[in-house]
Chain A
Amino acid sequence: MWPLIKLLPQKTNFKYVAFAPFLGVISLLACLASLYLTVVPFTPPCGGLNCGVDFKGGSMLEFSTSPRNVDLPALRSLADIGFGEVQVQGFTDPTSAMVRYETPENISSTQAQETMRAAISERLGEGVHFGRADVVGAKVSGELFLLGVVALGAGITLMLVYIWFRFGFTFGAAAVTALAHDVILTFGLFAVTQMDFTLTAVGSILTIVGYSINDKIVVLDRVRENLRKYKKMPMKDLIDLSVNETLSRTIITGVTGLMALGVMAYYGGEALFSFAVSMFFGIVVGTYSSIYIAAPMLTVLGVGRRDNFQSADDKKAKKPRDEAYSAS
């Protein structure tokens, strides 16, 4: 029974396309819910996301009272020091936490930070260590926000153009629909969990875009190859076959990726946590959408034997390599 790969049946006959309409409805609902959670309440710039100082501006202070747990209720009275709203946020590691606040207009951000440190130390007693401190001006945060939007937009456009160029319009449309699904759901994840939405989060979403499109290419590549190989097979069966053929690769690659990210979420500390969690989620969603959205969508979009690249393919069919395939 070893190596394990022998346990994975070489030929599976699962049906995918049959479930696609049902799952499609669920995905659509999930996307709508994610969009709703991301934009509501309609407060610019972040809506339902828990934006960090990167995008919202203001100051952030991280501290720990290790080995004791941070006494979060004691910090509630920070609202009284005259800084307006002070947001206190605990971490998964209960010995550390952070506060976010706007610098009042009449004092410098440095003075404000001093005041805040003193106020925190006073409320938590001895042994408060301050770790990270960020101050981002309103102008810079606005620019960073724009930059995040541009980066995401550019990333998705680039993928669209590339896949269009490599696979033609129908495949491109299918891949990009699935990609949009992944990105929207990831935003939903940030909205639901209220994880800090920062520049790093934008980086993780871009990576999810990269991974997800990679996964779609592998599946779509196989569909295209099979379209040339089995000229008479119904589209539905052909997609099922393609997904089955790439299944063991999907499983092994997915499992290794998830393993690495799982370790990172568990051992990587606070700073890597949200990154690892969103990437983990992205791999799961990206793999799902390759199989149940991108590939089945081809039947809806109508990639048929009439499709453009089929004629180009017929020319190639004279090559002996392809004959060998049809024989097997």
Chain B
Amino acid sequence: MLQVARWRVILVLVVTLLGVVFALPNVLPENVRNSLPPFLPRGTINLGLDLRGGSQLLLEIDTVTLRRQQLDNIADQMARALRDAEPAIRYTGRGVVGDAARVRLVDPSDLTRAKEVLRPLARDTTNGQDILTFVDGADGAIEARMTEQQMRALSRQAAQQSIEVIRRRIDPDGTAEVSIARQGDDRIAVQAPGVSDPEQLRERIGQTALMTFHMVRETAPEDAAAGRLPPGTMVVQPYPQSGGTQEIVERRPRFTGERLTRASPSTDSQTGEFVLSFALDSEGTSLFCRITRDNTGQRFAILLDNQVLTAPRINEPICGGSGQISGNFTAETANNLAIMLRAGALPAPLSVVEQRSVTAELGQDAINDGQTSTFIAFGLVLAFMVLAYGLLFGGISVVALVVNGVLVMAIMTVTGAALTLPGVAGLILTLAVALDANVLIYERMREEAKAGRQPAMAIDAGFSRAMLTIFDANITHLGAAFIMLNLAPPGPVKGFAWTLLIGVFTSVFTAVLITQVLVAWWFRVARPRKLPIS
């Protein structure tokens, strides 16, 4: 063993050198870092939100609404399939009841044929999976329920769409360092460094921002108050601070915000108030043209998330494909709304189920505290090792420990794993445990020497006997780290697990390989008769 293979020496040198190169930018002041030659890496450690300040939101998709929307679509599909059958199957009562979409056949004897017609809907044509189960309800009704699997797929898909929408909303220029990731089937974690007040985030994310255009049905106010509404209509409330009024509108929108190709804030040339100008795609243009032509003189309502922004009267057909919406906006609200509309609507409402924020000052305090304690702890431990094992062996373990620290920094820099405050604690702990490997090796050497072995034999036996114990000990740490990594939600604890995991690998590498190479080298040069620690 004292003849250390050349590949080991080379490995130690190369890894250490790489470690220094990648860890270095972290300790250089920014101006020096920026003037580094281009072939050197400049990345620094990615600090967690608890250290740099920022906000973290955990959003949950409203799966109840999502399910209802989807069932509504399914009811439509079922109705269409029945209509399109040859000959058409007559039905009534198309709708959603509880967790099922339902149609009722006028003639119960059509049941077998209706099932035949509906069967293709039950299976996803792209992947062949079952998405619906049909059940015969009472008196000629057919009910369709979504499979659990389909519901989960739907949530995941909605989460994926929401992520894109949220990104366009909170980071329209793509410059901010926001991380938005799906968590589980129906949750989305948003991490925004530097945003210490999550209020603005919540405002932008919390809105579904679905814009719909409905025709207004003029109804006598007392009828509306008594709940006597024309069929197919609903009462909608004004959008907060928009100057809109309560209206009775058709339940079905004539078209939705998906038809918008452009939305931007501007001012009305006559009144000078802030408005939102928009442009429609070609289909939207012709739709809008037809609607305004057929309904000149009537009012139509523009709803945002089912609340009235404005309900102007149609004075003349609008066929140019663009227009403007007034809603008592300020420059800021008009701009926000434009961003929302450009980003598109969320597939389903989101609710905030967890929200954490740390101010930048507190983060800076934490960094300072973390740095102070790391430096002091490091210094004390190094001094203690030199005191305990002398300049030579103590010094070797100091070298191993310093390289260990450098490697952990380098790996964290390269992998982009976030360093959190508990992560700093994990780092200190890792270094302390890494020392244990050195201690185990040295203690074994001492014992072997005491048992009367020659130095070379003692060193050799020290390494090989201690190896197994070191292996066992590190496996257990690896286990603890893996469990935390797999179970912990993104955040401080996960950061801790990362440093622990990285630390296990670097400490085995440094404590074993580096110590071995250095001790062997010393031995070859000094040819000692006696170990300095025995």
Contacts and interface: CB of A to CB of B under 8 A. Distances in A.
Interface in B365-400: 365-366, 369-370, 372-373, 376-377, 380-381, 384-390, 393-394
Interface string B219-234: 0000000000000000
A62 B53 CA distance: 14
Interface in B425-440: 425-426, 428-429, 431-433, 435-436, 439-440
B384 A150 contact: no
Given A110-B202, A199-B488, A272 B373 contact: yes
Interface string B39-55: 00000000000100000
A267 B476 contact: no
B500 interface: yes
B212 interface: no
A260 B493 contact: no
Contacts, number: 222
Interface residues of B, number: 78
A13 to B, nearest CB: 15
B372 A147 contact: no
Nearest to A258: B432
A210 B481 CA distance: 9
A154 B376 contact: no
A109 interface: yes
> Secondary structure of the B side of the interface?
helix
A264 B371 CA distance: 10
B4 to A, nearest CB: 22
Nearest to B392: A3
B380 A214 contact: no
Contact of A214 (B433, B435, B488, B497): B433
A256 B389 CA distance: 13
Nearest to A252: B439
B484 A151 contact: yes
Contacts of A276: 425
Contacts of A252: 388, 439, 443
B422 A203 contact: yes
Contacts of A249: 436, 439-440, 443
Interface stretch (B168-176, B238-246, B466-474): B466-474
A317 B109 CA distance: 87
Given A109-B352, A221-B468, A263-B376, A210 B480 contact: yes
A118 interface: no
Contact of B472 (A137, A217, A266): A217
Interface stretch (A71-79, A124-132, A232-240): A124-132
A135 interface: yes
A131 B362 contact: yes
B475 interface: yes
A248 B443 contact: yes
B354 A135 contact: yes
B456 to A, nearest CB: 15
Interface stretch (A39-47, A158-166, A294-302, A306-314): A158-166
B139 to A, nearest CB: 39
Contact of B483 (A11, A154, A248): A154
A291 B389 CA distance: 24
B214 interface: no
A4 interface: yes
Nearest to B534: A10
Contacts of A275: 422, 425
B394 A267 contact: no
Interface in B146-176: none
B381 A140 contact: no
Nearest to A202: B493
Interface string A106-144: 000110000000000000000001111111110110001
Interface in B472-496: 472-473, 475-477, 479-481, 483-484, 487-489, 491-493, 496
Interface in A218-261: 218, 221, 245-246, 248-249, 252-253, 255-257, 259-261
Contacts of B450: 10-11
A158 B354 contact: no
B480 A209 contact: yes
B216 to A, nearest CB: 31
Given A130-B359, A203-B497, A151 B443 contact: no
A264 B480 contact: no
Contacts of A214: 433, 436, 472-473, 476-477
Interface string B429-460: 10111011001101100110011100000000
A213 to B, nearest CB: 5
A104 interface: no
Interface in A199-218: 199-200, 202-203, 206-207, 209-211, 213-214, 217-218
A327 to B, nearest CB: 10
Most buried by B among A130, A136, A207, A276: A207
16 contacts: A3-B387, A3-B390, A135-B355, A140-B354, A151-B483, A162-B475, A200-B422, A207-B500, A211-B433, A214-B477, A221-B472, A256-B435, A259-B381, A260-B432, A267-B373, A271-B421
Given A3-B386, A261-B428, A267-B372, 20 more contacts: A3-B393, A3-B394, A3-B532, A4-B388, A10-B446, A130-B359, A135-B352, A135-B354, A136-B353, A144-B489, A155-B480, A203-B493, A207-B496, A252-B388, A252-B439, A252-B443, A253-B435, A261-B432, A268-B369, A272-B369
Interface of B: 50, 58, 60, 199, 202, 352-359, 361-362, 365-366, 369-370, 372-373, 376-377, 380-381, 384-390, 393-394, 421-422, 424-426, 428-429, 431-433, 435-436, 439-440, 442-443, 446-447, 450-452, 468-469, 472-473, 475-477, 479-481, 483-484, 487-489, 491-493, 496-497, 500, 532-533
